[in-house]
Amino acid sequence: MRKSNYFLPVLKEVPKEAEIISHRLMLRAGMIRQQASGLYSWLPLGYKVMRKIQTIIEQEQLRAGAIQMLMPTLQPADLWRESGRYDAYGKEMLRITDRHDRDMLFGPTNEEMITDIFRSYVRSYKELPLNLYHIQWKFRDEIRPRFGTMRSREFLMKDGYSFDVDKEAAEKSYNRMFVAYLRTYYRMGLTAIPMKAETGPIGGDLSHEFIVLADTGESAVFCHQDILKKTIPPRDTDFTGDLTPIIDDWTSLYAATEDMVNMEEFERDVPEEKRIAASGIEVGQIFYFGTKYSKIMKASVTGPDGKDVPVHSGSYGIGLTRLVPAIIEASHDESGIIWPVSVAPFEVALLNLKAADDLCSSVCDDLYAQLQAVGIDVLYDDTKDGAGAKFATADLIGIPFQLIVGPRGAKAGEAEIKDRKTGERQTMPIGDAVSYLQTQIEPARRNDI
Ligand code: ATP
Ligand code: MG
């Protein structure tokens, strides 16, 4: 993408309404625009990051056996009357009446709708296990939307739902999502710790929240520091096999959110020097809630013995629009964002330091074509702006590598490459730059193990 053709409205001023660094940087980098309290437009740069996050989620869901679909944002109130949650949900639910005076709502989550779909089609245990998910906008009329897209009213969530014949099978489905989540966050460059969590309005008796430690996080959490050293399950993990050893390993050390923590246990089980009592950002949550919805909404299957049993379910959420600021909270410096390559809006910023210089521009045009030809996602700053402004913008928007060519370098056949994360700069022959960048970017792009 040529910057001269792009829409990248970076701000010079630090927006004063933004309280936390990720919110300030997302506004300054032209990633989002607030349209009303808790409602945001995703501008091109921000949207690109979100799409990359979405792709990683989709790849890992597929690997774990979940099937993607799409349900509407609006739901009929009757479904929620059936489950009893229409009245229970309270003011966070946005209620809407259509022209025929029918009660509707903007979905805050989809347990009811997916249970309705399930009961309409599935009859036998032989069709199980089944895990269906979608990535769709949710609306929760939060009392205090804040921190930009970290806590907004409309937000994009991946929500999945598993269906199994009994509790034992349902736990296997839960474990598959547990492992998929570990891999998903890792691939985005995040360390997310699974912690015992309360089930809240979703209900049920088993739940983990995935927490990114950050001073600006809204959740108080308690865990053993060595959890941070646990190994991520590799790509060739057999999701059809027994995942309990992985789950047992990850849950062997103490980790609980504020709602679930038992201070006595925490102090008994974790030596003082290993205790983390900190703030964190909840980037996902998984639940096993058994037959809570299937009993009341009559979603049953015929079991192996020919008798009907209510299906056992779990639900699994990841907040995409919260992940973007969470990654920024975890990865930035005083100059701006530092994107991990796997979610970076562009992989390389090609900076033409003097667009008015013919040789410099022709060298840059050529590099631009070569980078595109090898499939590197490049933002080409071909504008007439000064060098200082170009460096500042590239740093601010956090592109992992800067490929810098000025008139002197163009003449000498040399380019400079800056690694945004380490700040290291190196000069090399222009002819070597593209293959060097390829070797750096290709493994980091998938960030897979
Ligand atoms: P919170 O405790 O932060 O209000 P929640 O526990 O109510 O979140 P879940 O129902 O578990 O949220 O939703 C799944 C995921 O959706 C959360 O882990 C979070 O990443 C994301 N999410 C929930 N509410 C919001 C929101 N208001 N804005 C952005 N993301 C959200
Ligand atoms: Mg939650």
Spacing, Cα 319 to ligand 1 middle (Å): 6
| pLDDT score, position 370 | 98
Query: Is residue 158 a contact partner of residue 320, using CB atoms and an 8 Å limit?
Result: yes
Burial tier of 53 (Cβ tally within 10 Å: 0-12, 13-18, 19+):
buried
Give the whole-angstrom CA distance, residue 192 versus residue 186.
Answer: 8
Give the whole-angstrom CA distance, residue 259 versus residue 207.
Answer: 12
Question: Is residue 317 within 6 Å of ligand 1 at its C-beta?
Answer: yes
- Angle (deg, nearest 10), helices 320-330 and 21-28: 100
Spacing, Cα 200 to ligand 2 middle (Å): 8
Question: Is residue 259 within 6 Å of ligand 1 at its C-beta?
Answer: no
Q: Is the pLDDT of residue 415 over 90?
A: yes
Q: Which amino acid is at 167?
A: K
The CATH number, out of the four listed (3.40.50.800, 3.40.50.740, 3.20.20.140, 3.40.190.120), of the domain defined by the range 340-445: 3.40.50.800
Structure tokens, 109:
């989550």
Query: What residue's CA is closest to ligand 1, atom 1?
Result: 282
Question: Is residue 406 within 6 Å of ligand 1 at its C-beta?
Answer: no
Architecture label for domain 31-330: 2-Layer Sandwich (3.30)
∠ CA 257-217-159, nearest 5°, is: 70
Average pLDDT, whole number, for the chain? 96
Structure tokens, 312:
């056992």
Q: State the closest ligand 1 atom to the C-alpha of 109, by its place in the atom list counted from 1.
A: 10
Closest by CA position to 214, among listed 21, 422, 420: 21
Give the whole-angstrom CA distance, residue 124 versus residue 294.
Answer: 14
Ligand with smallest separation from the Cα of 156: 1
Q: Which helix (H) or strand (E) holds 222?
A: strand 219-224
Tens of pLDDT, residue by residue over 65-100, are 999 999 999 999 999 999 999 999 999 999 999 999
| pLDDT score, position 97 | 98
Give the whole-angstrom CA distance, residue 425 versus residue 355.
Answer: 22
Question: Is residue 319 within 6 Å of ligand 1 at its C-beta?
Answer: yes
Q: Predicted confidence band at 16 (pLDDT cuts at 50, 70, 90)?
A: confident
| pLDDT score, position 449 | 84
Among 42, 138, 157, which residue has the most ligand 1 atoms within 8 Å of its CB, making it the best to mutate?
Answer: 157
Closest by CA position to 317, among listed 138, 188, 97, 443: 138
Q: Which helix (H) or strand (E) holds 312?
A: strand 312-319
The residues spanned by each domain of the chain are: 31-330, 340-445
Tens of pLDDT, residue by residue over 216-242, are 999 999 999 999 999 999 999 999 999
Give the whole-angstrom CA distance, residue 260 versus residue 205.
Answer: 12
Spacing, Cα 230 to ligand 2 middle (Å): 23
| pLDDT score, position 201 | 65
Segment 5-26 shows an average pLDDT of 94
| pLDDT score, position 17 | 86
Q: Which amino acid is at 360?
A: C
Sheet holding 74-76, edge to edge: 74-76, 103-106, 94-97
Tens of pLDDT, residue by residue over 303-349, are 999 999 999 999 999 999 999 999 999 999 999 999 999 999 999 99
Q: Which amino acid is at 27?
A: L
| pLDDT score, position 204 | 64
Q: Running DSSP on this structure, what letter comes out for residue 205?
A: S
Instruction: Please report, for residues 10, 27, 354, 398, the alpha-carbon distance to residue 335 in angstroms, rounded to integers and kept in the order given.
Output: 13, 14, 22, 9
Tens of pLDDT, residue by residue over 133-184, are 999 999 999 999 999 999 999 999 999 999 999 999 999 999 999 999 999 9
Question: Is residue 365 within 6 Å of ligand 1 at its C-beta?
Answer: no
> Can you say whether the dihedral through the CA atoms of 207, 212, 216, 221 is positive or negative?
positive
Q: Running DSSP on this structure, what letter comes out for residue 5?
A: G
Q: Predicted confidence band at 199 (pLDDT cuts at 50, 70, 90)?
A: confident
Tens of pLDDT, residue by residue over 267-305, are 999 999 999 999 999 999 999 999 999 999 999 999 999
| pLDDT score, position 15 | 84
Query: Is residue 313 a contact partner of residue 112, using CB atoms and an 8 Å limit?
Result: no
